[in-house]
C-alpha cells in the first residue's frame, strides 16, 4: 500500500532530535508526504527523551517539511485528554493531558499547527499489531504460564489495529481529504478486561475483572478516553469494529 507513495523515510530517534540532520535529510529527499509516527512513552528515566522526540523532534520535522513544501501526517494519542469525560471526546474537545507522554504529544500537535497548513494529525489509542510490544502479545504471553489473569475493568477506550491506522493515514493523503485533526481507532469501545477476554476467548485461562487500584501505575492512565470517530467516518473511510480487527490480526499469528 505504501509503495504508491513516492518517498517513505523512517527517522530513528537520534536523527529526529537533531534539527540539522532532519533538515539535511528532508532537504535531500524532498518528499511530498512525511509520515511521522515517533512515540516514546516515558515518565521518569526517559522523560527528557520523551520531550525531545515527541515535542522538539516533531517541531524539527514540521519545520523541515515546511521548507520543502511537504504534507505531514502525525500520529498523536488519546492521552491529550484527561479521561474524565463520560461520553466521547470530539476532535475539538478541550485537551488536558495528565501525564508526560500526553503533554509531549500535545506539544507536538501544537508545533505542527503553528508551523504548517498542510497537515493531518491523527489521534489514536490502544494500538496493537504485528510489531513491537502491545496488549495482545502481553495477554497471549501471560496466558501460557497462568491459569487465571486479572485485568482492570474500570478503564475504557477504543482498540486500534495498526493496519486500520496505516490505511487511514494513506487514505487521507490519497483522497485529498481536508487538512486538520482526526481521531481514528476501530469501532466500538471496551474496558481492558473486555479486550483481554476477547483476546483469550479460545485459550484455557480464566480472565477476571479487577479495579485499577489493584495495579498502581507510575503514569496516569485516562479512565474513559473514548474518542469520537465522526470526522474520520465523514471522509468515507470504512472503519471495522475492534472485534473484527482483532480476529483478523489473530488469524495472522
User: Could you identify the residue written with the cell 489493584?
Assistant: 214
CB count within 10 Å of CB 7 equals 12
Spatial strand order in the sheet of 71-77: 33-36, 71-77, 119-124, 180-183
d(CA 44, CA 20): 27
Degrees to nearest 5, angle at CA 172 with 56 and 113 = 30
Three cell numbers written together for 38: 515517533
d(CA 135, CA 128): 7
DSSP assigned state of 227: B
User: Could you identify the residue written with the cell 481507532?
Assistant: 185
Residues 6 or more apart whose CB falls under 8 angstroms from that of 201 comprise none
Q: Say whether 9 is catalytic.
A: no
The residue from 35, 101, 119, 120 that is catalytic is 101
β-strands 156-157, 190-191 pairing:
antiparallel
The residues carrying an active-site annotation are: 101
Amino acid at each position: 500500500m505504501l509503495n504508491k507513495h513516492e518517498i517513505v523515510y523512517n527517522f530513528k530517534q537520534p536523527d529526529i532530535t537533531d534539527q540539522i540532520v532532519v533538515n539535511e535529510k528532508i532537504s535531500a529527499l524532498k518528499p511530498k508526504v512525511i509520515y511521522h509516527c515517533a512515540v516514546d512513552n516515558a515518565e521518569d528515566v526517559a522523560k527528557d527523551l520523551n520531550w525531545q522526540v515527541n515535542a522538539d523532534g516533531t517541531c524539527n520535522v514540521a519545520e523541515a517539511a515546511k521548507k520543502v513544501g511537504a504534507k505531514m501526517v502525525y500520529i498523536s494519542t488519546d492521552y491529550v485528554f484527561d479521561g474524565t469525560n463520560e461520553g466521547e471526546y470530539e476532535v475539538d474537545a478541550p485537551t488536558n493531558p495528565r501525564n508526560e507522554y500526553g503533554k509531549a504529544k500535545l506539544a507536538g500537535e501544537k508545533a505542527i499547527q503553528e508551523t504548517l497548513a498542510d497537515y493531518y494529525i491523527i489521534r489514536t489509542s490502544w494500538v496493537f499489531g504485528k510489531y513491537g510490544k502491545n496488549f495482545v502479545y502481553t495477554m497471549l504471553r501471560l496466558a501460557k504460564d497462568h491459569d487465571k489473569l486479572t485485568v482492570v475493568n474500570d478503564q475504557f477506550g477504543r482498540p486500534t489495529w495498526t493496519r486500520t491506522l496505516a490505511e487511514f493515514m494513506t487514505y487521507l493523503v490519497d483522497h485529498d481529504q481536508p487538512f486538520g485533526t482526526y481521531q481514528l481507532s476501530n469501532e466500538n469501545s471496551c474496558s481492558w478486561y473486555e479486550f483481554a477476554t476477547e483476546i483469550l476467548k479460545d485459550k484455557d485461562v480464566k480472565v477476571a475483572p479487577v479495579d485499577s487500584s489493584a495495579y498502581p501505575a507510575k503514569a496516569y492512565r485516562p479512565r474513559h478516553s473514548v474518542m469520537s470517530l465522526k470526522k474520520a467516518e465523514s471522509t468515507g473511510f470504512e472503519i471495522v469494529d475492534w472485534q473484527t480487527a482483532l480476529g483478523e490480526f489473530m488469524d495472522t499469528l
